[in-house]
Amino acid sequence: MPLDHRIGAIYEGDGECRFVVWAPKAQQLDVHIHAPDEQVVTLESRPHGYFDGVVSGVEAGSIYTYRLDGGDEWPDPASRSQPEGPHGPSAVVDPNAFQWSDAAWRGVPQDRLVLYELHVGTFSPEGTFDGVVPHLAYLRDLGVTALEILPVAQFPGERNWGYDGVALYAPQNTYGGSDGFRRLIDACHAAGLAVYLDCVYNHFGPEGNYTGLYGTYTTSKYQTPWGEAINMDGPGSDEVRRFFIENALHWVREYHIDGFRLDATDRIIDESATHFLQAMTTAVHDEAERLGRHVIVIAESDANDARYIAPPTLNGHGLDGQWGDDFHHALHALLTGEDTGYYVAYGSLGHLAKAFRQNFVYDGVYSEYRERHHGSSPKQAAARQFVVASQNHDQVGNRATGERLAHLVSFESAKLAAATYLLSPYIPLIFMGEEYAESAPFQYFTSHTDPDLAKAVSEGRRNEFQRFNWAGEVPDPQDEVTFQRSKLDHSLRDSGPHKAINDLYRELLRLRRELPALARLSKDDQEVIAYEVEQVLFVRRWHARHEVTMAFNFAEEAVEMGLPVPAGAWRRAFDTADARWGGAGEEMSGSIDSDGRVHMRLMERSAVLLVHTDGRSQP
């Protein structure tokens, strides 16, 4: 990186601000300060296409644009604030003006993560960062340890999932901007919750992206589902990589972010000897070490490629973890019976058993959906490196009408789904509202201001689901009703079946946290058996002298069978069919003595957890 200075408008105090911008397409670049006092200053040309300069008479909140070659003016590609949205001027932000209260905060260790995926705009009636804060104590008491927030980088309009961001350094103005985001993070840390930010480094949104006027941020060499790929390995790519790496570091430094979920990393195409993901993760880890904090980088990818989380010494990218979508697909197909689209490649109990054992179902074997062999072996990866879920924004929102799992399956099946992934040896991710069976769907919504783009998005959405044959009319993403329909109703969790589900999640997370055999995340210290005829998955997990056994009945009727529970004294610690959770099963009571096999009656679509009561060493 040729400059020591950070990019963007860096407020240096005492009315002075340094402006640094990469604009190799320009011969001259002026910064136009619009307010409070108007002035135009020509920045000095630097090597590798940079311009920079210190301007006096600038304060936090000053409005500015860049003028390229004496012509039109545009917002800053690295703007910290877009008060009028992506098409308007940028604003100077002083990150040191915020009074943080988290000096003692160090973050949450990776193996203690319980992620809660949250979309700011639909989580609360206010749809703002501040609107999340009153719910933090509830989430902490539920057992959540970290929020995972869908992208907040400035997007066009007021309604968006966030994956159309264009001003990647600026928190969305309608959510509360930079100060609102800082208030939320500070409040999370005060409540003992880490904050993970979903970042999109594989494409820019289709409206309001002005980076192409400045430099070669994208390349026609590669194509993605969203158009040209980000230029990670072509001419000028050093500075493009710097732009994105600095973006991640800016969230760590200026916002105290604890970790990242990187969107669709398999769409970040880079044939460099050192992949962008490795360079970025190394930079983030170095900064975390300097700050004395945990900062963790997690990839989303459907490539089932273990190189993402393998260390660089083994030719990997060195990320800390990745989403394990195979677990979701195997569980979803088994519960719903869906066999269209990518679900055609799942549906057997054996698929779920394999996901329990190693996370990847497709580890180099043939995929019917892809019509080729898919994936690689995750054998060397640790359990804590995989994030699993029974639903998330993609799997819910990318259905034709945005149905949640509780809309598709029975009450008992919804409880079984929760137990299956929360008692797995992987990091769980709860999708907002899932924990009390929220009634509202989560649908795809946008508010593009370009009429042609808005029409194209609406039509494209209707054509997207042909391979799934889903029923129902696809809602118009541009209609505000689609957005309003997706807002949560938190009052539901206080009564009826919603409360039963909420209490069940709370208890499952307590057991996961307090039982040593569940708290220790390990793929090795477990035994997994799939009884295909009975449709029962049997799992035994242990740590030192602590042991549990679990039986998950995916049959639609009660099953009586003998299970290979090791000899000794056991107690039934949890049963989704118990009346406490709205089930029709018997109350849990007494102990169970096993001679190496226990005959059990498992209610339909239920999960039972037994805890060994006398303790002994495991093989």
Among 57-66, 495-504, 576-585, name the one with the lowest average pLDDT.
Answer: 576-585
Can you name the residues that pair with 569 across neighbouring β-strands?
A: 593
pLDDT at 1 over 70: no
The amino acid sitting at 489 is D
Kindly report whether the global pTM for this prediction surpasses the value 0.85: yes
pLDDT class of 36 with cuts at 50, 70, 90: confident
25: CATH: 2.60.40.10
Task: Strands of 380-532 (E only): list them.
Answer: 386-388, 427-431, 526-531
Residue 462 scores a pLDDT above 80: no
Judged against a pLDDT cut of 80, whether residue 136 lies above it is answered with yes
Please state, in angstroms and rounded to a whole number, the distance separating the CA atoms of residues 455 and 495.
41
Read off the pLDDT of each residue in 136-152 and give the average, rounded to a whole number.
98
Domain coverage including residue 55: 8-97
How many other C-beta atoms can be found within 10 angstroms of the C-beta atom of residue 167? 29
Mean pLDDT of the region 512-524: 97
Helix, strand, coil percent content, the chain, rounded in steps of 5 = 30, 25, 45
Closest to 421 measured CA to CA, from 375, 362, 361, 352? 352
In a domain, 395, yes or no: no
| 75 located within any domain | yes
Phi/psi region, residue 101 (left: phi>0; alpha: psi -120 to 50; beta: rest), is: alpha
Q: What is the pLDDT of residue 467?
A: 57
Among the options 239, 258, 300, 305, which is catalytic?
300
Half-sphere exposure at residue 187, Cβ-oriented, CA atoms within 13 angstroms: 17
The answer to whether residue 120 is domain-embedded is no
DSSP state of 437: T
Dihedral sign for Cα atoms in the order 278, 284, 290, 293: negative
Output the domain CATH number for residue 565: 2.60.40.1180
Please determine, for residue 588, whether its predicted confidence score (pLDDT) is greater than 90: no
Counting residues of the chain whose pLDDT is more than 90, the rounded percentage is 92
Marked catalytic residue, from 164, 263, 394, 476 = 263
Contacts of 176 (CB under 8 A, 6+ apart): 128, 129, 130, 183, 184
**Last residue of one domain, picked from the residues 46, 63, 97:** 97
Residues 6+ apart with CB under 8 A from 9: 17, 18, 19, 64, 76, 78, 79, 80, 90, 92, 93
Sign of dihedral through CA atoms 66, 68, 72, 76?
A: negative
* pLDDT reported for residue 469: 65
- Quick check: is 78 in a domain? yes
82-132 tens-digit pLDDT: 999 999 999 999 999 999 999 999 999 999 999 999 999 999 999 999 999
Residues in Cβ contact with 185 at an 8 Å cutoff, skipping those fewer than 6 apart: 102, 195, 255, 256, 257
In the residue annotation, 12 being an active-site residue is answered as no
- The per-residue pLDDT for 585 is 73
Could you tell me the pLDDT band of residue 474, with boundaries at 50, 70 and 90? confident
Single residue among 97, 122, 146 that ends a domain in this structure? 97
Query: Any bridge partners for residue 224, and if so which?
Result: 227
Q: Do the beta carbons of residue 324 and residue 363 sit within 8 Å? A: no
The DSSP code for 235 is: T
Whole-number pLDDT of residue 596 = 96
Number of domains in the chain: 2
Handedness of CA 424, 428, 430, 435 (dihedral sign): positive
Rounded to whole angstroms, the maximal C-alpha distance in the chain is: 86
Q: What is the pLDDT of residues 108-122, one digit of tens each?
A: 999 999 999 999 999
Report yes or no on 125 lying in a domain: no
Distance CA(357)–CA(163), nearest Å, equals 32
Say if 128 falls within a structural domain: no
- Average pLDDT value for the chain: 95
Q: Give the pLDDT of residue 619.
A: 40
**pLDDT of 554 higher than 80:** yes
Residue length of the chain: 619
Evaluate if residue 616 carries a pLDDT over 90.
Answer: no
Output Rg (C-alpha) for the chain, integer angstroms. 25
Q: For 327-386, how does the pLDDT look when each residue is reduced to its tens digit (9 = 90+)? A: 999 999 999 999 998 999 999 999 999 999 999 999 999 999 999 999 999 999 999 999
* Residue 339 placed within a domain: no
SS3 of residue 438 by DSSP: coil
Query: What pLDDT score was predicted for residue 73?
Result: 97
Per the CB < 8 A criterion, the answer to whether 183 and 130 are in contact is yes
Lowest-confidence region among 93-102, 213-222, 469-478, 502-511: 469-478
Q: Report the alpha-carbon angle 530-323-555, nearest 5.
A: 25
Token pair, residue 440, equals 């509202």
Name the percent of the chain lying above pLDDT 70. Answer: 96
Q: How confident is the model at residue 456 (pLDDT cuts 50, 70, 90)?
A: confident
**What is the per-residue pLDDT across 248-301, written as a single tens digit (0 to 9) for each?**
999 999 999 999 999 999 999 999 999 999 999 999 999 999 999 999 999 999
Q: Quick one: average pLDDT of 45-67? A: 97
Query: Rounded to an integer, what is the distance from CA 225 to the centroid of its chain?
Result: 20
Amino acid 28: pLDDT: 98
Last residue of a domain, one of 51, 70, 97: 97
For the residues 470-489, what does the mean pLDDT come to? Answer: 91
Would 203 be classed as within a structural domain? no
452 is catalytic: no
